């Protein structure tokens, strides 16, 4: 028996995109969150090594230069310190955010593909599927 798929329902495409989107985005989200956490740890250790410079003349301290404050990076350094203080929470939040972004992108692609198929199927006849009844089933 030959059948032709005339159209794809948007509800069906949305359901399948939501279900598949999380599964497809999980591995890349975990990898990217791990890389981001590692990058935050490296950045935190680099910023922790930046020290203030004391300028002294003849034993008298005349000025103290804080490179982080001079470059206006002190608040960024504090934010990085807070993020690296709870690495597990940061990792989980990044993973969740990346899963949401990946899921939304997968849903958008699924809906666009179903829309394109629904527009092109009447012109081209749609996708043809050949079905065959198995022996012993449906009898």
Which mean pLDDT values do the consecutive 10-residue runs of the chain (139 residues) have? 86 89 90 92 82 79 78 80 85 93 92 93 86 73
Total number of domains in the chain: 1
Which residue segment(s) compose the domain that 119 sits in?
2-46+86-130
Residue 76 counted as domain residue: no
Please check whether residue 63 lies inside any domain of the structure. Answer: no
Question: Is residue 29 exposed (0-12), middle (13-18) or buried (19+ Cβ within 10 Å)?
Answer: buried
Residue 137 lies in a domain: no
Q: Is residue 42 part of a domain?
A: yes
Contacts of 23-27 with CB under 8 Å at 24 or more apart are 24/102, 24/106, 25/98, 25/99, 25/101, 25/102, 25/103, 25/105, 25/106, 26/99
Hunting for tokens 């159209």 — which residue is that? Answer: 7
* pLDDT at 38 (0 to 100): 93
Tell me the Ramachandran region of residue 72: left when phi exceeds 0, alpha when psi lies from -120 to 50, beta otherwise. Answer: left
Residue 62, in any domain of the structure: no
pLDDT score at 124: 86
Asked, for residue 10, whether it belongs to a domain, the answer is yes
Cα dist from 134 to 15, 22, 137, whole Å: 29, 34, 6
Q: What is the pLDDT of residue 139?
A: 53
CA 77, CA 75: separation in Å to the nearest integer?
5
CA 78 to centroid of chain Cα atoms: 24
Domain assignment of residue 139, yes or no: no
The pLDDT score that the predictor gives to residue 76 is 81
How much is the pLDDT for 30? 94
Q: Determine, yes or no, domain membership for 99.
A: yes
């Amino acid at each position: 028996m030959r059948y032709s798929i005339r159209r794809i329902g948007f509800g069906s495409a949305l359901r399948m995109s939501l279900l598949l989107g999380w599964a497809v985005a999980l591995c890349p989200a975990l990898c990217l969150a791990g890389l981001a956490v590692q990058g935050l740890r490296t950045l935190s250790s680099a910023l922790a090594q930046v020290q203030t410079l004391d300028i002294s003349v003849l034993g008298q301290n005349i000025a103290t230069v804080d490179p982080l404050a001079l470059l206006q990076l002190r608040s960024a350094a504090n934010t990085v310190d807070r993020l690296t203080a709870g690495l597990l929470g940061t990792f989980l939040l990044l993973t969740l955010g990346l899963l949401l972004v990946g899921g939304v992108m997968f849903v958008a692609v699924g809906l666009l593909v179903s829309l394109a198929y629904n527009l092109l199927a009447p012109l081209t006849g749609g996708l043809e599927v050949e079905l065959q009844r198995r022996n012993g089933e449906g009898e």
